Amino acid sequence: MNDLPASRGSLERTKRVWAYLFLILPIIFYVLIRFYPTFYAFYLSLTNWDIVSKDKQFIGLENYRNIMQDQVFWKTLSNTGKYVLFGLPVSLLLGFSLAYHIDKAGRGEGFFKAVYFIPYITSMVAVAWVWRWLYQPAPIGVFNKILISIGLPQQQFLFSQSQALFSILATTIWADVGFQMIIFLAGIKGISVQYYEAAEIDGANSRDKLFRITLPLLKPTIVFLIVTGTIRYLRIFTQVLNMTYQGEGGPLNSTKPLVLYIYNSAFRSFDMGYASAMTVLLFLIILLITLIQLRVMKSED
């Protein structure tokens, strides 16, 4: 206290010591629970370990070569692609329309936000089973009962190879749209009123304002939602495991996403090496998407 000026340097040193002290446990955690497992997954992908055997046999890139020949891998990868390509655009478009109209409605904003957002924070296991029930054939399933009552034929939904994936996707979008809406709404609210006022003076109609002001200014929000959304849809798992017969991603693998195939390979067949190799590929896909995002964001600035 008394020797304050002289102790400037020693105060800085004390602060540095505390900083390192604060970081000891976290650094141990991140090294042991994040980085070491990441490298271990890369290593496992080069072995054919089945968790029971004592030795891990190093087999080089054979897992990767086998993956390239694996029809189920390509099937699940293409299913995953379908989830992303069909699901995300619909979810984004709906989320944006909701945000746009809720912003303009003026009344009931808090209420609408709550109603549309609540599915997003509900347990996906619960959601999946509720929807699985809604999709059942009559006299159990509500959707089919409604179809019959308005004179339309019953649909197979989850039991059909052509409809099951889209049925699961509808559930996913229902659960997801509130998140997109909240982020879009925050983005819309962040746009200064002055832009709109100036545009009005120039005689712009609401369509001009939407396409010339709102959407261009929301570009960072849109990029963010596309990237996080792509990653979220790439990782679809829980709903498929809970909505398909015995969690197999059927009928006939028609709904099975990559992550479910990875899960089954690792924890039902105990093909740890093979499953790890697939997680490495998933990691590389996500890395690529993140890098593209960084690139796009940077060119924005």
Scan residues 113-152 and list those touching other proteins (CB under 8 A): 113-119, 121-127, 129-131, 133-134, 136, 139-140, 142, 145-146
Report the residue from 8, 10, 22, 211 that binds other proteins according to the rule CB under 8 A: 22
Stretch of residues binding other proteins (CB under 8 A), selected from 69-77, 158-166, 193-201, 258-266: 258-266
27 is a contact residue toward other proteins (CB under 8 A): yes
224 is a contact residue toward other proteins (CB under 8 A): yes
Report the residue from 67, 102, 169, 240 that binds other proteins according to the rule CB under 8 A: 102
Q: What end-to-end distance do the CA atoms of the chain give, in Å? A: 47
Stretch of residues binding other proteins (CB under 8 A), selected from 61-69, 75-83, 95-103, 150-158: 95-103
Is the bond into 137 cis (omega within 30 degrees of 0)? no
Least gap, CB of 65 to other proteins (angstroms): 20
DSSP 253: T
Report the residue from 2, 3, 9, 15 that binds other proteins according to the rule CB under 8 A: 15
Least gap, CB of 283 to other proteins (angstroms): 5
165 is a contact residue toward other proteins (CB under 8 A): no
Residue 262, number of CB atoms within 10 A of its CB: 22
Least gap, CB of 26 to other proteins (angstroms): 5
State the number of binding residues for other proteins (CB under 8 A): 96
Report the residue from 67, 158, 183, 236 that binds other proteins according to the rule CB under 8 A: 183
Backbone φ and ψ of 58, nearest 5°: -80, 125
Closest CA to 268 of 50, 119, 78, 92: 50
Question: What type of residue sits at position 181?
Answer: M
Question: What type of residue sits at position 31?
Answer: V
Q: Decide whether 1 or 162 has the Cβ nearer to other proteins.
A: 1
CA-to-CA distance for 263 and 276, rounded, in angstroms?
10
User: At a CB cut-off of 8 Å and minimum separation 6, what does 74 contact?
Assistant: none
- Report whether 244 contacts 263 (CB < 8 A): no
- Report whether 67 contacts 274 (CB < 8 A): yes
* Positions 269 through 288 that interact with other proteins (CB under 8 A): 272, 275-276, 279-280, 282-283, 286-287
Report the residue from 105, 152, 198, 252 that binds other proteins according to the rule CB under 8 A: 105
Rounded to whole angstroms, what are the CA distances from 111 to 104, 114, 117, 119, 239? Answer: 14, 5, 10, 14, 27
104 is a contact residue toward other proteins (CB under 8 A): yes
Q: Decide whether 162 or 246 has the Cβ nearer to other proteins.
A: 246
